[in-house]
């Protein structure tokens, strides 16, 4: 796999917890400033099963480069003084930063499962401050982590951020540290205990004067690229095709808590698979695949002659579809739309860790299709969609700005996101935004208030798993 946009050699990135270019000052001020670093890709054996275990607590400019992990994205950083390296799963679908402690039963188990992600030792940091023993974050399959909330100094993309609050997992069933960068209303302590919101990383960056507003942009590059870019407090004009269109984030209950926007249509070439809809879809970098209602996926499968295996929850298509010049057009409030090439949705299981080639009964090589049924749950635009989009998350103004991506872009034109209602450079506003009429989750336990201090939202589990059999023997339909 290769990328023409590497800012540093990949080997250097992998060996360093935080690699950054020198900060660039804004023309009119020394702060906020623009920083660049890589966010890397690391392969996982079963992205569909990983999605099933995803956290679902729902009913100036800093630039980091991300790695594409087939199909998760990770950011390197450090915590504490002296710095302790951590590798964090970047997640727009949650709002807490948390990391395991090395003395947990999980991290002490055979195979050192936490070694790659890194751990945090509070006693080894002179800048550590205890907050409380009420950190508790849950996944739909019952896994998660619990322990302490603490504050400490964080170094991210070469930029030091002081007094960052995060969870330390003393009891955990997940080896991966997570960097949640969503709304503060979706923090675990708000959801479970109805506590007041705390300043998570984007908010701390604003408080520290590193960026001007709680906003960031995401560029994942194509399916073969090893890295992408996240810009906190800025956009990169070289990474997208205009227009960049701003659409409103949809409230859940009475508050903004997650990145739901309204999808109005979907077509494959000239064939409409969904038209004149007003479906709430969640933009979630923590989900490897895209999940849509079954009536839409059934239409997609019919058009592509895909085979959906009910037992495993996997859709298969001939791997040769990667060579076809077909495009999925996702439509939102006019004129926002994103084109996703079919090749970006066809995933070879043999390329996954421990994966093996899969064939149809007639011997034709079979690949995963990166769009699956949402199983009567929420609809999610995950990484199989996001790689083809340039997305700006404006938490201050409750807007998402969308544009078609520029794959493997070689030019860069970074501009800071300022303050105010029209803070995102080059963005135009959808003239007649469509409100979602379906797809929004209900509030959990009826908690939550209009000021955003209530509980987080809970969505039903998308219990999808890949049968090991499907990876080792022929698939017959």
Contact call for residues 383 and 73 (beta carbons, < 8 A): yes
The last residue of one of the domains, among 162, 186, 219, is 219
- Residue 350: predicted pLDDT: 85
Check residue 466 and give its pLDDT.
32
What is the pLDDT at residue 143? Answer: 73
Using an 8 Å Cβ cutoff, are 281 and 325 in contact?
Answer: no
User: What pLDDT was estimated at residue 12?
Assistant: 29
pLDDT of 356: 84
The reply to whether 287 and 193 lie within a common domain is no
pLDDT value of position 144: 87
Asked whether residue 394 is domain-assigned, the answer is yes
Do 250 and 212 reside in the same domain of the chain? Answer: no
Buried b (16+ CB within 10 A) or exposed e, 317-350: bbbebbeeeeebbbbbbeebbbebbbbbbbbbbe
Give me the pLDDT at residue 351, please: 82
CA–CA distance, 195 with 96 (Å, rounded to integer): 14
Please check whether residues 130 and 159 belong to one and the same domain.
yes
Q: Are residues 282 and 370 in the same domain?
A: yes
304 lies in the same domain as 428:
yes
Separation CA 156–CA 168 (nearest Å):
18
Output the pLDDT for position 158: 83
Domain boundary among 185, 219, 253: 219
pLDDT at residue number 124: 98
Clarify whether residues 104 and 210 are in a common domain: yes
Asked which of 191, 219, 247 is the last residue of a domain, the reply is 219
- Same-domain check for residues 172 and 245: no
Question: What pLDDT shows up at residue 66?
Answer: 57
Residue 267 falls within a domain, yes or no? yes
Instruction: Please report the pLDDT score of residue 247 as a whole number.
Output: 99
Residue 269 lies in a domain: yes
Q: Is residue 229, in this structure, part of any structural domain at all?
A: no
- pLDDT at res. 289: 93
One domain, residues 115 and 263: no
Q: What is the mean pLDDT of each run of 10 residues along the chain (477 residues)?
A: 29 33 42 55 53 47 54 89 96 95 96 96 99 88 87 93 98 94 96 94 94 94 91 95 98 95 98 97 93 97 95 94 97 99 94 83 95 91 96 98 97 93 96 96 45 31 30 34
In a domain, 228, yes or no: no
Q: What's the pLDDT score for residue 191? A: 82
Give pTM, 2 decimals. Answer: 0.84
Pick the closest to residue 294 from 310, 272, 271 (CA basis). Answer: 310
CB 198 within 8 A of CB 186: no
Same domain, 209 and 258: no
- Asked if residue 327 belongs to a domain, the reply is yes
Q: Which residues are catalytic, by number? A: 91, 284
Q: Work out how many domains the chain is built from and give that number.
A: 2
Dihedral over Cα of 141, 458, 258, 466: its sign: positive
Domain assignment present for residue 431? The answer is yes
Let me know whether 176 and 241 are in one domain: no
Token readout for 15 is 């060996």
Task: Give the strand pairing for 240-248 and 399-405.
Answer: antiparallel
The parent domain of residue 381 ranges over: 237-472
Please check whether residues 191 and 305 belong to one and the same domain. no
Q: What is the CATH number of the domain that holds 384?
A: 2.40.70.10
310 and 455 together in one domain: yes
Inside any domain, residue 1: no
């Amino acid at each position: 796999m290769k990328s023409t946009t590497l800012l540093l050699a990949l080997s250097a990135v992998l060996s360093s917890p935080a690699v950054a270019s020198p900060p660039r000052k804004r023309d009119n001020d020394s702060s906020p400033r623009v920083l660049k670093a890589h966010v890397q890709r690391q392969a996982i054996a079963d992205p569909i099963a990983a999605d099933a275990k995803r956290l679902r607590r729902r009913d100036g400019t800093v630039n980091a480069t991300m790695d594409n992990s087939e199909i998760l994205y990770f950011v390197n950083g450090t915590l504490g003084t002296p710095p302790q390296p951590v590798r964090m799963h970047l997640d727009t679908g949650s709002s807490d930063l948390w990391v395991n402690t090395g003395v947990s039963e999980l991290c002490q188990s055979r195979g050192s499962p936490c070694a790659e992600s890194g751990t945090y030792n509070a006693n080894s940091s002179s800048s550590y401050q205890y907050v409380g023993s009420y950190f508790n974050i849950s996944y739909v399959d019952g896994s998660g982590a619990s322990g302490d909330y603490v504050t400490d100094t964080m170094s991210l993309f070469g930029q030091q951020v002081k007094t960052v609050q995060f969870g330390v997992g003393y009891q955990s069933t997940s080896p991966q540290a997570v960097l949640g960068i969503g709304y503060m209303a979706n923090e675990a302590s708000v959801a479970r205990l109805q506590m007041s919101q705390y300043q998570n990383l984007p908010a701390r960056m604003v408080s520290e004067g590193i960026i001007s507003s709680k906003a960031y942009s995401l560029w994942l590059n194509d399916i073969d690229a090893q890295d992408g870019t996240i810009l906190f407090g800025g956009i990169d004009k070289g990474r997208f095709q205009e227009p960049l269109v701003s659409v409103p984030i949809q409230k859940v209950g009475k508050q903004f808590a997650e990145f739901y926007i309204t999808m109005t249509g979907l077509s494959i070439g000239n064939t409409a698979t969904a038209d004149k809809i007003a479906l709430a879809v969640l933009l979630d970098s923590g989900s490897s695949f895209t999940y849509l209602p079954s009536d839409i996926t059934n239409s997609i499968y019919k058009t592509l002659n895909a085979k959906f295996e009910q037992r495993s929850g996997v859709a298969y298509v001939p791997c040769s579809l990667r060579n076809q010049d077909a495009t999925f057009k996702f439509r939102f409030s006019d004129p926002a739309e994103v084109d996703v090439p079919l090749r970006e949705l066809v995933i070879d299981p043999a390329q996954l860790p421990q994966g093996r080639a899969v064939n149809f009964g007639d011997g034709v090589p079979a690949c995963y299709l990166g769009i699956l049924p949402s199983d009567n749950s929420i609809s999610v635009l995950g990484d199989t969609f996001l790689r083809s989009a340039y997305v700006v998350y404006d938490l201050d103004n409750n807007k998402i700005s969308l544009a078609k991506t520029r794959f493997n872009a070689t030019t860069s034109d970074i501009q800071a996101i300022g303050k105010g209602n029209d803070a995102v450079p080059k963005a135009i506003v959808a003239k007649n935004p469509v409100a979602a009429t379906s797809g929004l989750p209900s509030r959990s336990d009826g908690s939550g208030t209009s000021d955003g201090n209530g509980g987080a939202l809970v969505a039903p589990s998308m219990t999808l798993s890949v049968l090991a059999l499907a990876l080792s023997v022929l698939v017959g339909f």
